[in-house]
Amino acid sequence: MSGALRSDVSRPLSPREFEVLRMATQGLTNAEIAARMEVTVHAVKFHLASIYRKLGVANRTEAAVVFLRSSAGEVS
């Protein structure tokens, strides 16, 4: 990713994507997220790829930054 993180997400996250992002931000592994959500690790990876695309980020660290800034009210 180059430049600043996108805060103008054109497509909002689905409830499941939001849940995956919340858990990833808490430091859970894909396997831990899958177990808690009762889905496969592949499904978690699929959700993460969709999250990255929607947020315009390259990885879970950048996605976590967007999530944390949004949670703090810094991103609309």
pLDDT, mean over the chain: 85
Say whether 57 sits in a helix, a strand or coil.
coil
Q: What is the pLDDT of residues 19-52, one digit of tens each?
A: 999 999 999 999 999 999 999 999 999 999 999 9
What is d(CA 74, CA 46) in angstroms, rounded to the nearest whole number? 27
Side-chain half-sphere of 76: how many Cα atoms within 13 Å? 1
- Token pair in block for residue 11: 């497509």
Domains located in the chain, CATH noted: 15-70 (1.10.10.10)
pLDDT at 5 over 70: no
